[in-house]
């Protein structure tokens, strides 16, 4: 897998850096974990502060565009959407409480 960072924007208001990169691969699309490791190696970011927002690959192509965000600290990471944190294994999914069902009236 080859990774090239195409754009890097500093967002000081939210304490993060937005990264856009393109990847090319030979066989199947790499997993989010492999993409995360490649971005961390290329940018020098800590893996627990990197959130992959999207991976857009076209059908039948061996290229994809990746959008990611690198936060400056764990506190600034809290502004990110919860589903993205769960998807990247940075947060735990909350278990739903089992509701007691009342018997149906006849």
Residue 24, domain CATH: 3.30.70.330
For the chain, list residues with pLDDT below 50: none
- CA–CA dist 65, 63 (Å, integer): 7
Residue with tokens 């007691």: 100
Residue 14 domain-assigned? yes
For residue 1, the model assigns a pLDDT of 85
Residue 16 domain-assigned? yes
Alpha carbon of residue 1 to chain centroid: 18
Three-class DSSP category at 35: helix
Please state whether 89 falls in left (phi above 0), alpha (psi between -120 and 50) or beta: left
Count the domains in the chain: 1
- CA–CA dist 90, 51 (Å, integer): 8
Which residue range is the domain that position 46 belongs to?
A: 2-87
Residue 93 domain-assigned? no
For residue 91, the model assigns a pLDDT of 74
């Amino acid at each position: 897998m080859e990774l090239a960072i195409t754009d890097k924007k500093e967002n000081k208001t939210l304490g993060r850096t937005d990264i856009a990169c393109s990847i090319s691969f030979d066989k199947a699309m790499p997993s989010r974990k492999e993409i995360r490791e490649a971005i961390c190696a290329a940018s020098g970011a800590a893996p627990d502060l990197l959130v992959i927002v999207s991976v857009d690959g076209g059908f039948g192509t061996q290229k994809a565009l990746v959008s990611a965000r690198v936060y400056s600290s764990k506190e600034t990471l809290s502004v990110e959407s919860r589903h993205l944190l769960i998807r990247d294994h940075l947060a735990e999914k909350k278990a739903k409480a089992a509701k007691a069902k009342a018997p149906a009236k006849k």
